[in-house]
Amino acid sequence: MATIRSREDRDGITIGWQAQIKRKGFPLQVKTFRTKAEAKEWATVTESEMMRGVFVQRTESEQTTVHDLLSRYADEVLQNLKGGHKELSRIKVLQAGLGKYSLAAINSSIIAKYRDKRLSTISEKTGRLIGTQSIKHELGLLQRALKMAAMEWGIALPGGIPTALVKKPALPAARDRRLVDDEEKRLLDACTNAQNAWLQPVVIFAIETAMRAGEILESWKYIKDTDGHKVKVRVSDGLQWSDVDLNKRTAHLPKTKNGEARTVPLSSRAIQVLQGLPRSMDGRVFGTTYEGIHQAFARACKRAEIDDLRFHDLRHEATSRFFEKGLREMQVAAITGHKTLQMLKRYTHLKAEDLAKLLG
């Protein structure tokens, strides 16, 4: 049976009502309300849940805000993921929009309103509406943090994972840019004349392996520290000679974007690229950075008169070529590191003329 008692200040004036429930097999439940009616209602509901075996301890979820949860997720999870730094800006956006809510109070309606507000927000950086892909990433990040809270950190969420009930924004059509006609030859010719001598071997290696830029190249980024000062931090180490086995024709990636290591098989062309490279003292396979290659690649495309081609499109190109060579979905996923076939599909754009050849 619940005990309801008043709470008085120093002058004996009632300032609230405290409900206390002691029941065998359950932790002591204590909560204070502004009115006696609210205290009685809470006690009645809580005791009913205990009797029906559906009681959930809400104390920690009531005391933990979304802001607190995301901060902990950033500290304990994101810092251990390759590319986790890219999520920090999304953390701040989510904290600004939803941070004040407790985990016990956050629900699908609140998250849906956040989604709709973001869909109508103009980006200060681009001057255009924020893309649906960005908002989908934000909701996905929030969902992963809530799952971590419930499954690993023991924070009970009374209403379950609310993001699971929220409709995600429809994504734009997947980018399907591939090298066409003689674009590969023109691109590689332009790379040969680049000031950055690493550009051509990097481009060929990317086409042959479908590896991400951060898996191939060292990368740096400027971020602000707690005092607001810009500091340069390494965000990826790039491929190391210690992880390359020329005899087995493999390149091991101990840390990838999705947090799982994988070993990439190397084609004969990729091996030729590696065998022609000088060995650097610092152990890196490619003695340049992503930032340097990014600029050199853009200039090479301009010289080759190739429009709308990004370095990341080479990953699309390589993935599609794997399928055109006859590899199956799980084989390609093992090479590229895609966790789901849906994501793999977005990176795969097969040429109709090549499919026609397979039909005979």
Domains of the chain, by residue range, sit at 3-55, 62-165, 183-359
Name the active-site residue from 312, 325, 328, 351: 312
Name the active-site residue from 115, 315, 316, 321: 315
Please name the fold of domain 62-165: DNA polymerase; domain 1 (1.10.150)
**Inter-residue contact 204 to 269 (CB < 8 Å):** yes
pLDDT at 291 over 80: yes
**Inter-residue contact 224 to 232 (CB < 8 Å):** no
Residue range 102-128: mean pLDDT, rounded: 90
Residue 6: phi, psi to the nearest 5? -80, 155
Residue 95: what pLDDT?
A: 94
Please give the single-letter amino acid code of residue 208. Answer: E
Residue 343: what pLDDT?
A: 75
**Where residue 339 falls among pLDDT bands split at 50, 70, 90?**
confident
Residue 257: what pLDDT?
A: 76
Architecture of the domain made up of 183-359: Orthogonal Bundle (1.10)
Name the active-site residue from 58, 90, 284, 338: 338
Cα(182)–Cα(163) distance, integer angstroms = 46
Residue 246: phi, psi to the nearest 5? -70, -30
Residue range 67-85: mean pLDDT, rounded: 84
- Cα-Cα-Cα-Cα dihedral of 237, 241, 244, 247, to 10°? 170
**% of the chain at pLDDT higher than 90:** 45
212 is catalytic: yes
Q: What's the pLDDT tens digit per position in 208-232?
A: 999 999 899 988 777 665 566 777 7
Strand arrangement, sheet containing 250-253:
244-245, 250-253, 262-265
Cα(11)–Cα(9) distance, integer angstroms = 5
**Where residue 359 falls among pLDDT bands split at 50, 70, 90?**
low
Q: How many residues does the chain have?
A: 360
pLDDT at 19 over 60: yes
Residue 50: what pLDDT?
A: 77
Name the active-site residue from 257, 294, 310, 346: 257
**Where residue 122 falls among pLDDT bands split at 50, 70, 90?**
confident
pLDDT at 39 over 60: yes
257 is catalytic: yes
* Sequence-distant (≥ 6) Cβ neighbours of residue 298 within 8 angstroms: none
Cα(57)–Cα(31) distance, integer angstroms = 12
Name the active-site residue from 82, 118, 212, 316: 212
- Judged by average pLDDT, the poorest of 18-22, 43-47, 345-349 is 345-349
Which of 238, 248, 176 lies closest to 206 in space, CA to CA? 238
Tokens read off for 237: 């180490």
pLDDT at 304 over 90: yes
Which of 113, 102, 108 lies closest to 165 in space, CA to CA? 108
**Where residue 169 falls among pLDDT bands split at 50, 70, 90?**
confident
pLDDT at 314 over 80: yes
- Distances, alpha carbon 196 to alpha carbons 6, 68, 110, in Å: 76, 45, 50
Q: Partners of 234 in the beta sheet? A: 220
Cα(70)–Cα(263) distance, integer angstroms = 32
**Where residue 130 falls among pLDDT bands split at 50, 70, 90?**
confident
Residue 107: what pLDDT?
A: 93
The two domains 62-165 and 183-359 share their CATH topology (first three levels equal): no
